[in-house]
Structure 1
Amino acid sequence: MSKKEQLALSRRNFIQQVSFASIFLLSGEVKALDPIEVEAFRKKVKLRFIVASDIHYGQPNTPFEAMLDKAIAQINLFHAENPLDFCVMNGDIVHDDKSWMPVAKQKIDGLKMPYYVTRGNHDLVNEAFWKEVWGTPLNHQVAHKNVGILLGDTSNEQGKYLCPDLTWLKEQLEANKKKKQILLFLHIPQAKWTKHGIDHPEFFELLKKYPNVKAAFHGHEHDQDGVKMMNNTPFLFDSHIGGSWGTSYKGYRVGELLNDGTLITYMMNPEVKMEELSF
């Protein structure tokens, strides 16, 4: 197969696998995109990342090892054709038994791009154990291409659903307020949009003061793969890559921040083409 034929096949596969695509314009307007429109924007991408959630490694009566292996392979394949700046595994890395966490990390270390993790309510570990395995604190921040990446903790060793540490979050928002964009990753949604969400209006009041928060990303709700809006900020869900319940497919969300600050985001289902969803 010639290089031209390989590129055409790659483009066709990409278009077939994209769904639930949206563009968040600088004006605050939200529009649905079809896969061909998504593909057309790809030369303008400044920052590209994937967020995948809810591995539930070790959950009884599930093929958890095969599911994680498959997700890692799919993400690496996407990265080979569409280079990623980073990936976030957004909570519930394991399922209630912390002894699985070092094993899961060995698998996730197979990712070919930088990656970050957040703790979910099934990751029943304390901060010392978390640091020992992952080498980072439960709340941490990094930057890529002058975009602030905030990764917050929304649970504890007992698996309680929690608001992120607002003192830490305010400090990080202040430290990054000169950046044009901030991306926020939290496992548990902070509004009762969904069955398992919680209600913390003070979280949203804090975010209102920092309009450079471009988007927030949640896991936790395996049956959610869309967007909720609050104060012109999108809060995006990404289905699940493991576990015993949720959407009929297992996929992950891609985010692409364009040079002008516009955000395009879409779900990838590497196996089955889904219907489009408009927001």
Structure 2
Amino acid sequence: MSNRRKFIKSGIAGIAGISLLPAVNSFASPSGIYKAEGNFKLRFAIASDGHYAQPDTDSDKFYSDLIGWLNNEHQHNHLDLVIINGDLVHNRPDLLPKVKETYLDKLPVPYHTLPGNHDFADAAIWKKVFGYEDNYSFDFGDIGFVLANTATTKGEYVCPNNAFLKFALDQYAQKRIVFVILHIPPHQWMEEEKTIFVDCPGTVELLHKYPNVKAAFHGHDHSLDSVRYTGKLPHFFDSHFGGNWGTAYKGYRIVEVGNDYAITTYQVNASMNPQLNLNKF
């Protein structure tokens, strides 16, 4: 299956304080690597949907490629941290330690992970493997990150724990910037997304109450690599680096926070697949 849906449309609009750049074709050659310009307070990569052990896929290559891409990114542009936003494995939580030890521990910078619906993981599983639970927060100076699980151990889609979100967002109320990481977005933008996303109006309302929440980041839908909005809040997607469906290319998203707190984000076409926006009729 190349795509979950036959048709999808993204609502794209401008928003003050966040600059949206088009997909960057990086890593064509050592001399063709995109060079980030400027001085950054924070620069990080976010990737999702590795689906390790999905049948009939080369998931070891998916992970080897990702580690190579991000090591290259760090070598040429510098990364402060990496976030892997869900579906690290494909219905095999027993393989999470292997993914961690064989691949993720080889990342050149600190990394953070979050369960997706295919990880079949709860707080106990996540803490045993990664040392923290499935709902947690961390900060990088005056920039906060809030990560929350959106699935059950059976792979059912659920709204994030709003009590946890409120507690974490209250703790970070004085931060200049807060980013929220949710594998499955808490909003259905289109009728056909009723079986793909979850409708969580309470979560959306909560996120909108905090002016320092500047963006939410999601995985899950491998075919999305741009931005949707709830009100003025942008929700960014990062395509996929594994699995057997979605965008023709595999890649990740870069987020840069300048010394003036201006935010820039763009998607990287790391696999350099030239068939972007391919359609068959």
Quickly name the TM-score band, shorter chain normalised: 0.7 to 0.9
Q: Which residue of 2 aligns with 1:150?
A: 146
The one-character-per-residue Cα deviations of 1:62-98 (angstroms, maximum 9, x if unpaired) are 0001111111111111011111111000000100012
**AA at the equivalent of 1:48:** R
2:40 corresponds to 1:49: no
- Specify the alignment match of 1:6 in structure 2: none
| Residues 1:274 and 1:214: Cα distance change in structure 2 (over 3 Å) | farther
RMSD, aligned α-carbons: 2.4
- CA separation of 1:181/1:155 partners in 2, compared to 1, >3 Å: closer, same or farther? same
After TM superposition, give the deviation of residue 32 of structure 1 in Å. Answer: 5.0
**Displacement of 1:273:** 7.1
SS at match of 2:117: coil
Q: 1:117 to 1:149 in 2, by over 3 A?
A: same
1:34–1:78 distance in 2 versus 1, CA, 3 Å? closer
Contact 2:44-2:79 within 8 A present in 1 as well: yes
| Unmatched runs of 5 consecutive residues or more in structure 1 | 1-21
* 1:75-132 alpha-carbon deviations (Å, 9 max, x no partner): 1110111111110000001000122111111111110101000000001123222211
Q: Which has the larger share of helix?
A: 1
Partner of 1:230: 230
* Residue number among 73, 76, 81 corresponding to 1:86 in the alignment: 81
After the TM superposition, which of the residue ranges 217-226 and 79-88 deviates more from structure 2?
A: 79-88
3-state SS in 1 of match to 2:256: strand
**8 Å contact from structure 1 (residues 190, 200) kept in 2:** yes
Provide the C-alpha distance between the structure 2 equivalents of 1:211 and 1:165, rounded to a whole number of angstroms: 20
- Alignment partner of 1:97 out of 92, 98, 108: 92
How many residues were matched structurally?
Answer: 252
In 2, Cα distance between equivalents of 1:269 and 1:220: 18
Point out 4+ residue stretches in structure 1 off by more than 4 angstroms.
Answer: 30-35, 273-277
Task: List aligned pairs for 1:110-121, cutoff 5 A.
Answer: 110-121=106-117
Distance in 1 (alpha carbons) for counterparts of 2:173 and 2:73: 32
Pick from 137, 141, 160 the counterpart of residue 137 of structure 2: 141
Q: Indicate the SS of the match to 1:66.
A: helix
Relative distance call for 1:276 and 1:232 in structure 2 (3 A) is: farther
Query: What is the match of residue 19 of structure 1?
Result: none
Q: CA deviation at 1:151?
A: 1.1
Amino acid in the other structure paired with 1:246: G
Secondary structure class of the residue paired with 1:109: helix
1:4 matched to which residue of 2? none
Secondary structure of the structure 2 residue equivalent to 1:43: coil
